[in-house]
Amino acid sequence: MPFAAAASEKNSLSTAIQETVQMISGELGRVPDLTIAFVSQHHAKNFPSMAASIVDRLGGGILLGCTGETIIGGHREYEEGPAFSLWCGVLPGADLVPFQLEFAETPDGFMCSGLPDDLGARATETRAVLLLGEPFSSVPQSVLDLLADELPDVPVIGGMASGGNPGENRLFLNHQEIHQGAVGVVLRGGPQVRTVVSQGCRPIGAPFVVTKAERNVVYELGGSTPMQRLQDLFQLLPPRDQKLVEGGIHIGIALNEYQESFHRGDFLILNVVGIDKKSGALKAGGVVRVGQTVQFQIRDGETADADLKRLLERHSSIYPHLPAASLLFSCNGRGSRMFSAPDHDAGLIQSRLGPLPLAGIFAQGELGPVGGKNYIHGFTASIALFEEEAV
């Protein structure tokens, strides 16, 4: 098999690495081209030597990794206790380009440096970009903006490390332990990489055109304040939906403003950061422009479950061959905090597309494409699905 994955709950990171490497090496039968490692904060004292230990035991290859509040491996989501998850792939015909990013604030905004120089020249060969960031010292949107220019239509999959306070999260690249910024790898050639990004929301009420806005602050929806629109809508909702609104409301930007009607999956979901009671304005978790069509959204476990099932079924109908492996980046607000049963996202992927080697984390922000454009999300399950052979 070209892919293999294993996870361990051992208290000793050295033992966890030893047993997962042994399992993976036995399945692969050769040195992997790409290894991705995820580790919980319980193993913090061993972070400095972790990456080198993994690469040396595997015999080489490129390693990428980060810490996570919850570690995903196989069909499990390890939300408590120590956990370590290792994912390896042999990628025939692939050219893998690792990189490390640094960020700096300039008069024109935050800028990143460290991306490969030849991105645009080899855009047609690029399958995907895997990106992991440290949430307190990186600005992923600046990376996505650059990649949108250099690699249009190329998916960027990954997430922000989680589980630690500022200074506690870690990234890993080859033999290095990295404290800040971001790391990643450009995948050129080799197996195709598909994506499934489940935002898990459903629209409520009617869509409105944004008639007044400035960056991420919306002042008017169809000539009335967002607060007034939401108050009018709230009175019409059933009690269950009213409770969901009280627990947190979201706003969706229509991906295609020319549709006659809008349904679940037709929006880019943004968190509502706050509503100013005095002005009635809404502050969103992303830029909203005048002329865009938006609709209020709600999210709960039932909606998120149905949305992920729908998207996995849709993927299976489009690509009848099962994927060979998967990486999963779920929000740290999912898992047992959202669903009634544990291991929801990983288990659902395995039941619909597996069994397959799978690893990932609960992230503090998930990266993935919606409507052909890459975004950083919240409360999302962002999934990379690797085909077995080069296309």
pLDDT band at 389 (very low <50, low <70, confident <90, very high): low
The pLDDT, as a whole number, for residue 110 is 80
Question: Strand, coil or helix: what is 49?
Answer: helix
> Tell me, what amino acid is at 75?
H
Cis omega (within 30 of 0) for bond into 355: yes
pLDDT (average), residues 306-325: 94
Question: Strand, coil or helix: what is 216?
Answer: coil
Residue 26 burial (10 A CB sphere; 0-12, 13-18, 19+):
exposed
Strand pairing class (156-160; 126-133): parallel
Number of H helices, E strands in the chain: 7, 26
pLDDT in tens, 194-251: 999 999 899 999 999 999 999 999 999 999 999 999 999 999 999 999 999 988 899 9
Please give the domain boundaries of the chain with CATH numbers for all domains.
3-198+304-390 (no CATH), 202-298 (2.40.30)
Phi, psi of 368 (to 5 degrees): 180, 160
The size of the chain, in residues, is 391
> DSSP letters of 248-272?
--EEEEES-TT-SS--TTSEEEEEE
Structural contact between residues 100 and 49, judged by C-beta atoms closer than 8 angstroms: no
- For helices 344-353 and 301-318, the axis angle rounded to 10 degrees is 30
42-51 in b/e form (b: 16+ CB < 10 A) is bbbebbeebb
pLDDT (average), residues 141-148: 94
The pLDDT, as a whole number, for residue 388 is 79
- Of the candidates 191, 204, 317, 303, the residue with the CA atom closest to the CA atom of residue 252: 204
The pLDDT, as a whole number, for residue 264 is 81
- Name the average pLDDT for the chain: 94
**Residues ≥6 apart with Cβ < 8 Å to 348:** 305, 308, 309, 312
- For helices 226-236 and 239-247, the axis angle rounded to 10 degrees is 150
pLDDT in tens, 85-110: 999 999 999 999 999 999 988 887 78
- Of the candidates 380, 384, 144, the residue with the CA atom closest to the CA atom of residue 265: 380
> Tell me, what amino acid is at 287?
V
Structural contact between residues 323 and 308, judged by C-beta atoms closer than 8 angstroms: no
pLDDT band at 128 (very low <50, low <70, confident <90, very high): very high
Whether pLDDT at 4 is above 50:
yes
pTM above 0.85, yes or no: yes
Percent of the chain, pLDDT > 70?
A: 99
Report the distance separating Cα 79 and Cα 87, nearest Å. 19
